[in-house]
Amino acid sequence: MTHIIEKVRNGVDTEQMFGTLDAINADPSLGAFQFRVSNEWVDGAHNRSTMQRFYGAGHEDDSRTEPFTIEAGEPAVLLGHDTGANPAEALLHALAACLTTTLVYVAAARGVRLTSVESTLEGDMDVRGCLGLSDDYRNGFDRIRVSFRIEGDAPPEKLRQIVARAQARSAVYDMVTHGVPTEVEVTTG
């Protein structure tokens, strides 16, 4: 009898995944990562970020041969020219992407084959805060609502547990819900 082992599930190489977990357990220094972004102002609300190198798994990672680029902008009503998603939308993207990737990895680890994952996110803000018109409103979103629609070869309860585990382990969900100590330094030219 031949036992067929499914190595790639949901597009995730589970053998590599468990190998990575074993390697970090064996040498915890491999767990230290640093991600970086460079941003350049273009004009008005238009600016552009690039991401390429990072540190992780014990070395400076230069495997990306080209940088990624994300453009930022604002719509006309917020004084921009729609040169890209605005920063608040970019934050919602970061949240959606991290929850999605995390749940896809969790499902792969748990042997669940997913067929579809979609999400919609909404963030409410009163711009009287960030425009400096009223101290009664915070600058950012008052709240964020995330709605997932997930399909796969597992009962609904198991699919819900996978999303719950993703909430418990997502890096960006942690940051967006709990905040991060942030320091800003300025050099003037």
What is the closest distance, in whole angstroms, from the C-beta atom of residue 70 to a second copy in the complex?
5
What is the closest distance, in whole angstroms, from the C-beta atom of residue 4 to a second copy in the complex?
21
Residue 18 · residue 26 · CB < 8 Å:
no
Sign of the torsion formed by the C-alpha atoms of 57, 62, 63 and 69: positive
Residue 6 corresponds to which tokens in the numbers above?
A: 């499914």
What is the closest distance, in whole angstroms, from the C-beta atom of residue 129 to a second copy in the complex?
8
Closest CA to 115 of 13, 6, 11, 18: 11
Q: Which is nearer to a second copy, 3 or 132 (CB)?
A: 132
What is the closest distance, in whole angstroms, from the C-beta atom of residue 54 to a second copy in the complex?
7
Q: How far apart are CA 82 and CA 186, in angstroms?
A: 28
Q: Which is nearer to a second copy, 97 or 111 (CB)?
A: 97
- Which residues partner with 66 through β-bridges? none
What is the closest distance, in whole angstroms, from the C-beta atom of residue 3 to a second copy in the complex?
24
Q: Which is nearer to a second copy, 1 or 79 (CB)?
A: 79
Closest CA to 38 of 16, 14, 66, 69: 69
Closest CA to 94 of 184, 186, 1, 175: 175
Q: Which is nearer to a second copy, 1 or 124 (CB)?
A: 124
What is the closest distance, in whole angstroms, from the C-beta atom of residue 136 to a second copy in the complex?
10
Q: Which is nearer to a second copy, 2 or 179 (CB)?
A: 179
Q: How far apart are CA 33 and CA 25, in angstroms?
A: 15
Residue 88 corresponds to which tokens in the numbers above?
A: 């608040």
Q: Which is nearer to a second copy, 2 or 182 (CB)?
A: 182
